[in-house]
Amino acid sequence: MNTRNFLKAVAGAAAALALGSASAQASYPSQPVKLVVPFAPGGSTDIAARLLAEFGARELGQTIVVENKAGAGGSLGMEYVAKSRADGYTLGMATVSTHGANPAVYGSRLKYDPVKDFAPVTNVATTPSVFAVNPNKVPARTMQEFLAQAKATPGKYSFGTPGTGSLGHANIEHFMALAQIQLLHVPYKGGGQAMNDALAGQVDAITDNLPSALPHIKAGKLRALAVLSEKRSPALPDVPTYGELGFPQMGGGGWFGVVAPAGTPPEVVAKLNAAFHKAMKNPDFQKRVDELGATLIPGTPADFGRQIQQAIDRYQRVAKMANIQAQ
């Protein structure tokens, strides 16, 4: 084959490949989509993902399968998503933990870059976290009373978290530094274990996402003292925010959003964004989100990208201030 014919063959192959790629994008999705939750089943992220999968599948015209890949504070699941094919068939539920706290506390040990390795699809919802105490172990009925008791007896009260360097750990270390109190940190291997021991009185306090803590608060097994949110939660209207208590530096609550591997075609990202936004407009979807104590915040991929960067910047400051490093 002479040079001219070779170049023609290469050009033809490239054109065919581009045409095939465009055709694949146009027919997307032609098979089930996997939505990876980087935490164990039953938690707030898992609940939100399954809700999004149920309603999003109707708009996308294809099944969305939720797959849990827990471990290392959500890092294992996000690493899996980052290394998946950028074709729109593997997505991940990103959180303020996986894309904010983890980069700050794991540093160079983190096996994914929260910005470079992902294509933001859409932010979905924001949810408060709540600081709650076991009412049988802690006599305080308000955060002001708890702070007075904690200052009077440094190190007496303990708090459970899903692990050293977790989002809950980072938030309470931040709060302790601001409030100038000393609590005993008890790390667990997951949020479920921490919650079980808080309910049993093995630890005095816990910070957790509101959707998973709310049933226990309503049942009187936990007493909520503060919510991490920009404004009070309609689910707990009598519980003040950290900002109202004089600690605006604590910022807002957690969030959930959908990401795809970096390099996912913009047309696929746009189609996913549109489908999820239509799902979030469904009254039944909105009702179930309200019942979780969450607030919908659908936006553009760029909006979600900015939210991720803000979380990274915030938790880098917190980790440095409180000297938090994951074990």
Tokens matching residue 200: 């049993």
User: Is residue 21 pLDDT above 50, yes or no?
Assistant: no
Average pLDDT over residues 240-246: 97
Domain edges within the chain: 31-128+253-322, 129-250
Weakest mean pLDDT among 90-99, 115-124, 206-215? 206-215
Q: How many CB atoms lie within 10 A of CB 100?
A: 27
Kind plus residue range of the DSSP H or E element containing 260: strand 254-261
Sheet holding 158-161, edge to edge: 184-187, 158-161, 205-209, 129-133, 223-228
CATH topology for the 31-128+253-322 domain: D-Maltodextrin-Binding Protein; domain 2 (3.40.190)
Pair type for strands 90-95 and 223-228: unpaired
Instruction: Say which CATH architecture domain 129-250 belongs to.
Output: 3-Layer(aba) Sandwich (3.40)
List, as one string, the DSSP characters of 263-326. T--HHHHHHHHHHHHHHHTSHHHHHHHHHTT-EE----HHHHHHHHHHHHHHHHHHHHHHT---
Tens of pLDDT along 114-173?
Answer: 999 999 999 999 989 999 999 999 999 999 999 999 999 999 999 999 888 888 888 999
Distance CA 273, CA 122 (A): 6
- Of 297, 260, 278, the C-alpha closest to 34 is 260
Query: pTM for the complete prediction?
Result: 0.82
Q: Which carries the bigger pLDDT value, residue 318 or residue 18?
A: 318
The reply to whether 129-250 shares the fold of 31-128+253-322 is yes
Tens digits of residue pLDDT in 249-283: 998 888 999 999 999 999 999 999 999 999 999 99
| Arithmetic mean of pLDDT over the chain | 90
- Is the model's pLDDT at 7 over the cut of 60? no
Structure tokens at 31: 């098979």
32 pLDDT above the threshold of 50:
yes
